Amino acid sequence: TEWNVSLWGKRRAFTEHVEKLAELVSEKTGGEFTLNISYGGLSKNTENLDGIEIGAFEMAQFCAGYHPDKNPSITVMELPFLGISSLEQERDISMAVYEHPAVAADLARWNAKLLMPSPLPQYNLAGVGDVPSSIDNFDGLTVRATGGIGAALGAVGAVPTSMSATEVRQAMDSGVIRAASFAPHAHMSFGTIENATWWTSNLNPGAVNCPVVVNIDAYEALTDDERAALDGSVEEALDYYIEYYENETMAKWWPLLEEKGVEQVSFSDDEIAAFREAAAGPAADAWIEENNARGLPAQELYDLVSGMVAEGQ
Amino acid sequence: MESIEIGLVVSAGLLVMVILGMRVAFAAGLAGLTGLIWIFWAKKGYDPAQFMWALEVAVKTGGQVPHSKVASQALSLIPTFILIGYLAYYAGLTKALFTAAKRWIAWVPGGMAVATVFATAGFAAVSGASIATSAVFARIAIPEMLEVGYNKRFAAGVVAAGGTLASLIPPSAILVIYAIIVEQDVGKLLLAGFIPGVFSAIVYALLIIGMAMTIKGFGPSVGGFTWKERFAALPPAAPILIVVLTIVLFVYNPFGGEAWGTPTEGGAIGAFVVFLMALYNGMRWGEFKGALLETAKLAVMIFTIIWGVLIYVRFLGFADLPGAFSDWLTSLEMSPMLILVCILLAYAVLGMFMDAIGMMLLTLPVVYPAVMALNGGEMVSAADSTFGMSGPMCAIWFGILVVKMAEFCLITPPIGLNCFVVAGVRDDLTVQDVFRGVTPFFVADGITIALLVAFPSIVLWLPSLA
Amino acid sequence: MAGSASVLEDDSILSRLDRNFYKLEKLLALVSGLTVFGLMLLAVFSVSSRNFFNDPLPGYVDWIQQAMPLIAFMGISFTQRDGGHIRMDMLVGRLSGRPLFIAEWITTFAILVLMVLLVWGSYAHFQRSFDMSMPLWSRDSTMDIGLPIWPAKLLAPVAFSVLCVRLVLQLASYTKAIITGETEPVAVPLPVDVATQAAQEAEQVSGHD
Ligand code: NA
Ligand code: NA
């Protein structure tokens, strides 16, 4: 069996689990089952779910926040200030959410089965100009942040601005915005860290959730051996991914902050708590109400996530 | 059949359809759709019972492309810049610019043609779309060149070639699209285009002067303008300068404070200023409607090509042709500079059959990383690099080279949009006429590209200051 | 691309259909042009509200993405009617009469096949984003402010259907010309003959500046 896999961009930390999965699956089946990975050749990233439903390819990665209405159930993972503190935790909670029957049914509308997450660290802000000493300083701060994170920052007086990721660097250099919210690897690849003077090390406003899915028909058409090889490789692929992100990407990140003289701002626990109070509660309530209207067990999903976060602490 | 062979057969089929006179956008779309059906059916071993499945998957895959590719912020610059072109035309700005260029420059050998080149170069500082520039100047400059006895093919060629300057001299839709595809700094790229754009214009002018001095009956110089007339021509053309200043100040605030917006927004502000000028100069609803309809027509023509070509590109993706090309490129055992030259030559060939944007969308995801790798990686320092420039600088240099190649493809047969547009405006010219008239400029572009490759500082000096 | 080819008219039903349908096509193209203008105003509005009021337009990018299909698709049939979609005419340019119309019939039919398939494909694309049981009937939304995408996706099959009708009209005219052997059929773009060319030239000289 040969499967086509639709990713986008180029090979990077964010895609290493899929690369590893392809390697493991081929190894375990003696080359009988191969994953043919394409970076952007098969689909636009926002339409990977469409391609899965059509049956154009058998596996794909996408981010929930690209199109909330396509996958409302998993946007619970993108709510601001969930308090997820590590890639491991993000992985465990994502997996639990993916296994929830309502979530499986939500994705089954696209003939898609959730296979594994692509855990990302928190989307902390990098910015230019005066270093914020407290959350109050966010008042009037122009910041590029989308979705729930943008809404959360808006709740404390910041001014979220939308633009495509590639324009962010220019916008920041020219003063159109003063800060941007990205994961560290994106701060590096979009160059926002080049001229930044500060980075919020513990604001942890949230992250996006980017699962890898498979086409259900193709999955069921696999032989038992092939399916076992695929299912049995997920854990190892994720272990590899997390190790890679922590040891390769983050290993570049900290020295880069030092080298560029970027000040790491950390806020007091009280301040963070106040921010959460202002932003997280209302966002969660709105999410629950909105998704009840879609017929999802929204409260249950939210409780599942917040319960696991609380347990972890 | 191997998918790569399917890719080659379908590509040959596309060429045949285009030569037979099928409208290019639809030929590309049909080739892409046919190819997708073939690929999916081949996957099922050509089982007759599976043909309908293959058809359905192919049609649904191809049917995503028009909406999905067109709904993009990057491409929104194209219609905006086309609108600027037509509004400037109705505001009388282009005419004033041409008149000023004529009175100041037309005394040199080949004067009217040289004046046309510099008028298009000046207009390029307002316009970000090559075809719009050619479309507008075809109406203004060609009649005047014909009046003084130029060969009509050459006159058309000058306008088609002059139009390409609009995409190097900022603002430029295509440079922004390059920046977005490769994720580089838009501002520096736009800055980098300025000197190569002016440089191209000078090479064009020198070529024309050379031709005028050697070819008999080429076209007279047009002199006899008094200094009074020359200076009188400046005020009507001055609003162009205001528009340029607006865009520049907008994007590069020189007062050290905050800029007011991104280059994308700068383009829209420029269009708005031109719109106000057109209103001030007495544009009425009828003319405005005309400008809108012409903008719509040119925009839809380009977007139809874009999505048509992209259906074909999607098929190439499934046939894994870009992957095969990339493997081949990185396996070559040649000097990096020779590989770069081969890439540029490949662009020249590919550019014959594609429009600029389609070509960049098709090739850059594969070629750009390969070129960056040749130079030693995205983060390489100038000292450790192959081409003697840092990663970001190499991205700018290669970007200007690619855009210059993409502009070159706008004037090369069989598919050269600028030539089609000029022929479309002028009923007395066939597409073949314009292609014949534009051939001398291939030489000029060849020289320009060779110099930009040999002396990267032409490109990199300005952005290195920023 | 004004008048690179001319479309003849007479009192026949075919020509009347052509002219009436052209009015619709022109209206759609004008919608496209107005959208370009609107996009420009939107940018000015977005920039000024950010700079003067520190209150950027939320979802500016989302709105642009919603507007682009209007610009890109609505004029497609208008452009086809006037022969504005580019092509190589080195071969067809040498033909006239029946051989020309046979060649035109074949390529026009090929376009019709493509467009019928794309109406299917783009409608399926719309359908995947549309769900009557969901709020705002939406099963696909934009990234920043969550606008439903289905209206924009619906524009493609609508505009493509209009083009299909136009292609059928053109095929009818070519078919008639092939059967009757007439050399100047109505309702299709023809290479401009010398006379009309002269007329248009005069008009152009006396026209805008
Ligand atoms: Na320009
Ligand atoms: Na070409």
pLDDT grade, residue B148 (50/70/90)? confident
**Do C55 and A109 lie within an 8 Å CB cutoff?**
no
Task: Tell me the CA end-to-end span of chain B in Å, nearest whole number.
Answer: 53
In the predicted model, is pLDDT for residue B172 greater than 80? Answer: yes
Contact C33 B296 (CB under 8 A): yes
Lowest-confidence region among A101-110, A157-166, B80-89: A157-166
Burial A27-52 (b: 16+ CB within 10 A, else e): ebbeeebebebbbbbbbbbbbbbbbb
The pLDDT, as a whole number, for residue C208 is 44
Mean pLDDT of B15-35: 91
Q: Which chains have 3 or more CB–CB distances shorter than 8 Å to chain A?
A: B, C
pLDDT in tens, B283-292: 889 889 999 9
Is A197's pLDDT higher than 50?
A: yes
Q: Is A272 helix (H, G, I), strand (E, B) or coil?
A: helix
Distance CA C67, CA A287 (A): 28
pLDDT over 80 (residue C209): no
Q: What's residue C204's pLDDT? A: 54
Grade residue A313 by pLDDT with cuts at 50, 70 and 90: low
Q: Are residues C87 and B309 in contact, defined by beta-carbon separation less than 8 angstroms?
A: no
CB contact under 8 A, C93 and B430: yes
A296: its two tokens: 């999802």
Backbone Cα Rg of chain B:
23
Q: Is the pLDDT of residue C195 over 50?
A: no
CB C56 within 8 A of CB A161: yes
| Cross-strand partners of A59 | A5, A214
Distance of CA B382 to CAs A59, B187, B376, B387, C128, Å? 40, 21, 10, 8, 49
- C54-75 pLDDT, tens digit per residue, is 777 778 888 999 999 999 999 9
Among B57, B251, B262, the residue with its CB nearest the CB of A55 is B57
* Residue B181 confidence class, pLDDT cut points 50, 70, 90: confident
CB B81 within 8 A of CB B272: no
Residues near A198 by Cβ (< 8 Å), separated by ≥ 6?
A: A126, A127, A131, A132, A262, A263, A264, A265
Phi, psi dihedral angles at B226 (to 5 degrees): -80, 160
Cβ of B317 and A42 within 8 Å? yes
Band (B282; pLDDT cuts 50, 70, 90): confident
Q: Please compute the mean of the pLDDT values over residues B132-141 and round it to a whole number.
A: 92
Of A29-43, B6-20, B229-243, where does the model show the most confidence? A29-43
Highest mean pLDDT among B216-220, B349-353, B378-382, C187-191: C187-191
CB-based contacts of C89: which residues, under 8 Å, 6+ apart?
B21, B430, B431, B432
| C59 to A50: CB separation less than 8 angstroms, yes or no | no
pLDDT at position B363, please? 77
Distance B368 CA to ligand 2 centre (A): 21
User: Are residues A56 and B57 in contact, defined by beta-carbon separation less than 8 angstroms?
Assistant: yes
Instruction: Say if CB B203 and CB B448 are below 8 A apart.
Output: yes
Average pLDDT score over residue span C102-127: 97
> How much of chain B, in percent, has pLDDT values that exceed 70?
97
Task: Give the ipTM.
Answer: 0.92
- In chain A, which residues have their Cβ closer than 8 Å to the Cβ of B180? 164, 166-167
Handedness of CA B153, B158, B159, B160 (dihedral sign): positive
Q: Is B214 exposed, middle or buried (0-12, 13-18, 19+ CB in 10 A)?
A: exposed
Residue A38 with chain B: CB contacts under 8 Å: 317, 320, 323
Cβ neighbors of B130 (< 8 A, separation 6 or more) are: B163, B164, B165, B166, B167, B174, B356, B407, B410, B417, B418
Report the pLDDT value the prediction gives residue C198, as an integer from 0 to 100: 43
Q: Which residues in chain A are contacts of B251 at CB distance < 8 A?
A: 174
Q: Could you tell me the CA-to-CA distances from C72 to B76, C33, C99 in Å, in that order?
A: 10, 10, 33
- Identify which ligand lies nearest to the alpha carbon of B198: 1
Give the tens place of pLDDT for each residue, C20-43. 999 999 999 999 999 999 998 998
Q: Is the pLDDT of residue B255 over 70?
A: no
Given pLDDT bands bounded at 50, 70 and 90, which one contains residue B8? confident
Residue with tokens 């594994």: A116
Q: Write the pLDDT tens digit of every residue in A218-254.
A: 999 999 999 999 999 999 999 999 999 999 888 899 9
Higher pLDDT, B363 or C75: C75
The pLDDT value given to residue C3: 39
Give residue A131's pLDDT: 92
Q: How would residue B259 be classed by pLDDT, with cut points 50, 70 and 90?
A: low
Classify the C-alpha dihedral B316-B321-B326-B332 as positive or negative: negative
Instruction: Judge: B264–C43 Cβ closer than 8 Å, yes or no.
Output: yes
Interchain pair A50, C128: CB under 8 A: yes
pLDDT of residue C105: 96
DSSP character for C138?
Answer: B
Whether residue B332 is predicted with pLDDT greater than 90 in this model: the reply is no
Residue C190 gets which letter from DSSP?
A: E
User: What is the whole-number distance in angstroms between the Cα of residue C44 and the centre of ligand 1?
Assistant: 20
Residue B68 Cα to ligand 2 midpoint, Å, equals 25
Q: Are A73 and A301 in contact (CB under 8 A)?
A: yes
Q: Which of A166, A169, A253 to mutate to test the interface with B (most CBs of B within 10 A)?
A: A166
Kindly report, residue by residue over A175-187, the tens digit of the pLDDT: 778 999 999 988 9
Calculate how far, in angstroms, residue B80's C-alpha sits from the geometric centre of ligand 1: 12
Chain center to CA of B192? 16
Neighbours of C (≥3 Cβ pairs closer than 8 A)? Answer: A, B
User: Average pLDDT of chain B?
Assistant: 87
Domain boundaries, chain C: 5-195
With a cut of 60, say whether residue C193 has pLDDT above it.
no
- Confidence at residue B92, expressed as pLDDT on a 0 to 100 scale: 86
Confidence of residue B466 (pLDDT cuts 50, 70, 90): low
pLDDT at C196: 55
Collapsed DSSP state (helix, strand, coil) of residue C9: coil
Q: Does the pLDDT of residue A53 top 50, yes or no?
A: yes
pLDDT at C102: 95
**Residue A78 pLDDT > 80, yes or no?**
yes
Burial B151-182 (b: 16+ CB within 10 A, else e): bbbbbbbbbbbbbbbbbbbbbbbbbbbbbbbb
pLDDT confidence bin for C207, thresholds 50/70/90: very low
CA distance B58 to B37: 5
A136, B365, C152 from C68: Cα distances, Å: 39, 23, 8
Q: Check whether C206 has a pLDDT greater than 50.
A: no
Q: Is pLDDT of C2 > 60?
A: no
